[in-house]
Structure formats: C-alpha cells, structure tokens
C-alpha cells in the first residue's frame, strides 16, 4: 500500500498539553544526523527544492555558510535597501566572495524559552502577554515552540503556527524552583536542529536572574549552539529587581549568548517595557539580510572560524552589521527542510 503524501500545510499533531516533556532526552553532546546533499542541489543556495514527500528541502554545501544580518545606522535605526555589493565578509581574516543575497521577510522557526522559576511568579502574566504579541507581529508562516524552564526544561507546546495552541503553551506555568537557563538553551537548540522546517532559526529567552542549576556552563552552551549551526539568540533580562551581583552575572550571560549568535540582549527597566521590547524583537527578525558564501577553507579541516561582516550605505557611510561571530566547520553535508508556499 502506497504511503500517504504529506501535506505541509496541515498542522502537525502535537502531544497533549497536560503532559510535560523534556525537549531532548539528554543535554550531553550528540551527533546530529544529516542527509547527504542531493546531486540536484539548486544553483542558488537560498532557494529550496521540493522533495518527494512534498516538503521543500534547502540543500547546503559543506563549505557554504549562511548568515542572517541586521544592519544598523549610527542612530540605531534599521537600514533597508542595501544590495549585495554593499556587503563584505571575512572569515579568519580572509575575504570571502558572497554567492547569494536576499532581503525579504522570511519565515522563521522559533523557540520561546520562558523562565518558570519561583521568582517569575508575579511576572509571568505580563511576559506571556508580550510573548503572544510578538507571535502575532511575526510572519504568519513562522513556526514556534514553547519551553518553560526552571530546574528542568519542559516542552509545553511543540512546533506549530497555531497562535491559540502557542498561547496555551505559554499559559502552562507553575513558577517554582531554580533556573537552569544554559541547559534549556542547549536543549532548545537541539529541538531546532532536529525538527525546524525553516532555515532561519531564532531562540527568544525571557528570564529574571542568573543560571544557578545547569549542568552546562556558559561557554559549553555557546559551543553547543554554534556546533549545531546555531539559531540567533535574543534575550530579555528582567533584572531591575535583582541583587547587584546576580544582575551582573545574568547580564553578562545574556549579552554573551546574544552577541555570539547575532542577536540582541534587552534589559527593560520594568514589566511595562517588556511588550515594547518584544515588538522590537519581532521587527528585527523580519528586517534582516541573508548572505551566503563558500568558505575558502575546506570544511574537512574542521575547527572554529571567526566571521566579520561590514556594510556601507549609499553615501559610503559605514554601518553596523549584527550577525553571528563564527561557526564550527563540519566535514558533513547538511540539508534543512523548509516549508513550501502553497
């Protein structure tokens, strides 16, 4: 009997929301399984090819690097209207040739990581409302999941574009316990690597304190995210009522996670500012450039590579480009499923 064809427009069946599930069975390093690149890989690496099951597949060469870039002017405003010739890329100090360029509102696979520790009890209503407003302001084709974390991370809503289901996932909290932030980030990055259907990937963290319960440390977490091809990490730190020492530690961690991956860390002065910050995150995600280049260094050499990107405006003015600072090269090919527009 022939297998039924998969319809990518049909919502996936999600687990019951009355059962907590760990996003991954373990935070120990795992080998991500990847398929071999197809012989019919499209000429443009930013275009997807339809597979036999009806899902579009983005094939990426092992030496190819994809960058999501936000461009900011001297006044902090987002810059649009640039072309490929306005950008320059260096890897480990060596100029790279941009072979593909795109500037459009692309669909995103997103993970919402919301602190569920005891100190968040009085903040969750405002945080949930802001997170839901961010989802409503996002691309309608985005798919997101919800992770509530305290001493463990729980996947309370799997990937979906259904805003009602996502709102239910945000509402499933019982604030208690400690804060295992790093473990939650690593687990959620794994979730994206395994199940995301969009090439562009984002994690949004909302927390009010420093990590005090993870098995991983900050640097191990960053390496885990980068080794997976890494989502962009946005952070919202509600540190206005934290002690000086805790605030300093938490701020450093959130800024480092975000800056290393090309995201932004925000530190609102009160709960009243969270909704505004969430709206800014949504705008930032939807107004980015995507660049692709083939590394001049063979992927078979492995190792970490530093990336530097510059952009100049129409009048030659230098602009600030925010993107990930580097990546770990892998000798394996990879391909990422990407939803089709029907």
Which sequence spans correspond to the domains of the chain? 58-105+288-338, 109-286
Q: Which two tokens stand for residue 214?
A: 């993870």
Partners of 87 in the β-ladder = 311
Give yes or no for a contact between 147 and 153, defined as CB atoms under 8 angstroms apart.
yes
Fold of the domain spanning 58-105+288-338:
Immunoglobulin-like (2.60.40)
pLDDT tens across 55-68, in order?
A: 333 344 446 899 99
User: What kind and span of H or E run contains 128?
Assistant: helix 124-136
The H-assigned helical ranges of 178-307 are: 181-195, 218-227, 244-261, 274-286
Q: Which two tokens stand for residue 277?
A: 């910050």
pLDDT tens across 277-302, in order?
A: 999 999 999 999 999 999 999 988 88
231: CB partners within 8 A, 6+ apart: 111, 189, 192, 201, 202, 203, 225, 261
Q: What is the CA radius of gyration of the chain?
A: 20
Question: Which comes out higher in pLDDT, residue 45 or 38?
Answer: 45
pLDDT tens across 177-230, in order?
A: 899 999 999 999 999 999 999 989 999 999 999 999 999 999 999 999 988 877
pLDDT tens across 306-317, in order?
A: 999 999 998 888
How long, in residues, is the chain?
342
Whole-prediction pTM: 0.81
Give residue 51's pLDDT. Answer: 42
3-state SS class at 175: coil
Say how far apart CA 30 and CA 294 lie, in whole Å.
26
Say how far apart CA 253 and CA 213 lie, in whole Å.
14
Say how far apart CA 96 and CA 100 lie, in whole Å.
12
Q: Which two tokens stand for residue 107?
A: 């669909």
Residue 265: pLDDT above 50? yes
Say how far apart CA 252 and CA 248 lie, in whole Å.
6
CATH of 109-286, one of 2.60.40.10, 3.40.50.300, 3.30.420.10, 3.40.50.410: 3.40.50.410
Say how far apart CA 59 and CA 156 lie, in whole Å.
31
Question: Which comes out higher in pLDDT, residue 329 or 257?
Answer: 257
Q: For residue 111, how far is the Cα from the chain centroid?
A: 7
Question: Taking residues 320-340, what's their average pLDDT?
Answer: 70
Question: Taking residues 322-328, what's their average pLDDT?
Answer: 94
Say how far apart CA 167 and CA 243 lie, in whole Å.
31
User: What kind and span of H or E run contains 177?
Assistant: none
**What is the dihedral sign for C-alpha 139, 140, 141, 146?**
positive
83: CB partners within 8 A, 6+ apart: 101
Give yes or no for a contact between 292 and 52, defined as CB atoms under 8 angstroms apart.
no
**Residues 110-127 as b or e (16 or more Cβ within 10 Å = b):** bbbbbbbbebbeebbebb
Give yes or no for a contact between 61 and 45, defined as CB atoms under 8 angstroms apart.
yes
User: What kind and span of H or E run contains 137?
Assistant: none
93: CB partners within 8 A, 6+ apart: 306, 308
Angle at 229 between CA 262 and CA 96, to 5 degrees: 70
């Amino acid at each position: 009997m022939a297998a039924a064809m998969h319809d990518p427009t049909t919502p996936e069946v999600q687990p019951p929301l009355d059962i907590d599930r760990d996003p991954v069975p373990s935070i120990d390093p795992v080998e991500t399984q990847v398929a071999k690149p197809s012989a019919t890989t499209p000429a443009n690496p930013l275009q997807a090819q339809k597979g036999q099951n009806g899902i579009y597949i983005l094939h990426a060469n092992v030496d190819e690097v994809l960058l999501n870039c936000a461009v900011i002017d001297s006044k902090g405003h987002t810059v649009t209207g640039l072309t490929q010739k306005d950008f320059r890329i260096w890897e480990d100090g060596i100029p790279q040739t941009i072979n593909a360029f795109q500037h459009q509102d692309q669909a995103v696979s997103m993970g919402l990581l919301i602190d569920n520790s005891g100190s968040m009890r009085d903040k969750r209503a405002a945080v949930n409302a802001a997170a839901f407003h961010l989802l409503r302001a996002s691309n309608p084709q985005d798919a997101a999941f919800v992770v509530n974390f305290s001493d463990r991370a729980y996947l309370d809503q799997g990937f979906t574009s259904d805003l009602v289901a996502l709102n239910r996932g945000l509402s499933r909290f019982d604030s208690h316990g400690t804060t295992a932030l790093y473990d939650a980030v690593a687990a959620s990055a794994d979730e994206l690597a395994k199940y995301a259907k969009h090439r562009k990937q984002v994690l949004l963290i909302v927390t009010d304190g420093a990590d005090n319960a993870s098995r991983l440390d900050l640097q191990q977490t960053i390496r885990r995210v980068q080794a997976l091809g890494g989502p962009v990490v946005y952070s919202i730190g509600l540190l206005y009522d934290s002690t000086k020492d805790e605030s300093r530690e938490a701020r450093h961690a959130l800024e480092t996670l975000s800056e290393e991956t090309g995201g932004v860390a925000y530190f609102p002065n009160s709960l009243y500012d969270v909704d505004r910050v969430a709206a800014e995150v949504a705008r930032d995600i939807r107004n980015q450039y995507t660049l692709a280049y083939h590394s001049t260094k063979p992927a078979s050499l492995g190792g970490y590579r530093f990336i530097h990107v510059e952009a100049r405006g129409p009048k030659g003015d230098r602009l600030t480009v925010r993107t990930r600072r580097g990546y770990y090269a892998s000798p394996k090919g990879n391909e990422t499923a990407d939803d089709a527009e029907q």
